[in-house]
Amino acid sequence: MTDRELYQYVHDAQEEGFRALFGQYQAYVYQIVWGKIRNVGTAEDAEDCVSEVFLQVFLHFEEIRGDSLRAYIGTVAKHKAIDYARKLGKTGAYITGDGELPENLASDEDVAGSIEDAVESRELLAHIRSLGEPDTSILILRYFYDKKSSDIASHLHMTPVAVRVRLNRALGKLRRLLSREDKAGR
């Protein structure tokens, strides 16, 4: 089944469509995830991460274009697996011989820093969205999903040169917006 047919199937019969989507891409996602976490995690960890990937895909399915389903799923899998590997790498040193974490383990996670990063990310995303289309899509695809200008061009029905020009202009606008905000905040 092609991505476009699968995308339509999910829209026509959601539950059966999601089952078909999972069936078609589960091995692909597992391969990506296992490649990223095999040095720090177990097969069960990989299965948990695969579940999280499909949960994110299902929750954000309306945002996906029908012709880019495989690319979107692959990108989500890559990013989730990297996050999972980081998490497992941090906790792996504390696992006891029986595979359990000690009960009163103090966290070395910087909670305040994590919250601050999340707020900054949300603000940055709001600024990016304020640029309007296609600049918003170009920036998100380039810097959040690590897409090349040729991939973005085919996704947005533009030429790669037009994408690069729009990207440079959008970065300039974003820089000016952030500079104004920074000056206003002082």
Cα–Cα distance measured from residue 14 to residue 156, given in angstroms and rounded to the nearest whole number:
26
Cα–Cα distance measured from residue 31 to residue 36, given in angstroms and rounded to the nearest whole number:
9
pLDDT class of 103 with cuts at 50, 70, 90 = very low
Asked if the model's pLDDT at residue 48 lies above 80, the reply is yes
- pTM here is 0.48
Residue 170 identity: A
Quote the pLDDT of residue 118.
Answer: 58
CA distances from 102 to 41, 68, 93, 95, 112 (A): 18, 43, 11, 7, 24
Quote the pLDDT of residue 180.
Answer: 81
**Interval 33-48 mean pLDDT:** 87
Contacts of 150 (CB under 8 A, 6+ apart): 160
DSSP string, 77-117: HHHHHHHHHHHHHHHHTT--TTSPPPTTPPP---HHHHHHH
pLDDT tens across 78-87, in order? Answer: 999 998 888 8
Cα 24 from chain centroid?
Answer: 20
pLDDT tens across 49-79, in order? Answer: 998 898 888 888 877 766 678 888 889 999 9
If one counts every other C-beta atom within 10 angstroms of the C-beta of residue 137, the result is 18
pLDDT tens across 8-25, in order? Answer: 888 888 888 888 888 888
pLDDT class of 106 with cuts at 50, 70, 90 = very low
pLDDT tens across 148-166, in order? Answer: 889 899 888 999 999 999 9
Asked if the model's pLDDT at residue 119 lies above 80, the reply is no
Quote the pLDDT of residue 165.
Answer: 93
Residue 113 identity: G
Walk me through the domains of the chain, giving residue ranges and CATH numbers. Answer: 1-101 (1.10.1740.10), 110-186 (1.10.10.10)
pLDDT class of 100 with cuts at 50, 70, 90 = very low
What does the DSSP 8-state code read for residue 13? Answer: S
